[in-house]
Structure 1
Amino acid sequence: MVSYHMVLATKAGHQGWPTRLRVIARRRQAVSRSLTVALREIRRYQKRTNLLIRKLPLQHLVRDIAHMFVYYLQ
């Protein structure tokens, strides 16, 4: 089996990549691209001062969930 680094060692080898290595390289690029986008979104949301969920609906949701837990614990 040819390793990834051996294929890149020659210019001709770079042009004739085996299909499996090509698929692995594309998958790695896609994963790193999606991680980069996710990190960018996290930074963008952390810079904002407004809330993503309004206070009152969140308060109602938390109250309902807490009420269910208390009910099931009794």
Structure 2
Amino acid sequence: MTDKQESSSSTLDLLRSLSSLLLSLSSAASLLVIAISILPLSQWAKHQNECVESQKGNVGVAYEVSYCNGRVPGP
């Protein structure tokens, strides 16, 4: 190989390495954002489970879930 070909090859290797690094960082950042955005949902689900458990045995699961959501079904 000539010096020009080796230089071109090392430049391509550097670009591939940098693009892999940027892709990895953006993937990690995306996963972090998703994990943070799911936290309120997990807290809500925990509250729902606690509420339904406290209502166990009243009428039925559908009624308990409606009650915990603030919508008691009509007759």
- Specify the TM-score bucket, using the shorter chain as the normaliser: 0.3 to 0.5
For the pair shown, which has the larger CA radius of gyration, 1 or 2?
A: 2
Bigger relative CO (Cα 8 Å, ≥ 6 apart): 2
Scaled by the length of structure 2, the TM-score of the pair is 0.43
Scaled by the length of structure 1, the TM-score of the pair is 0.43
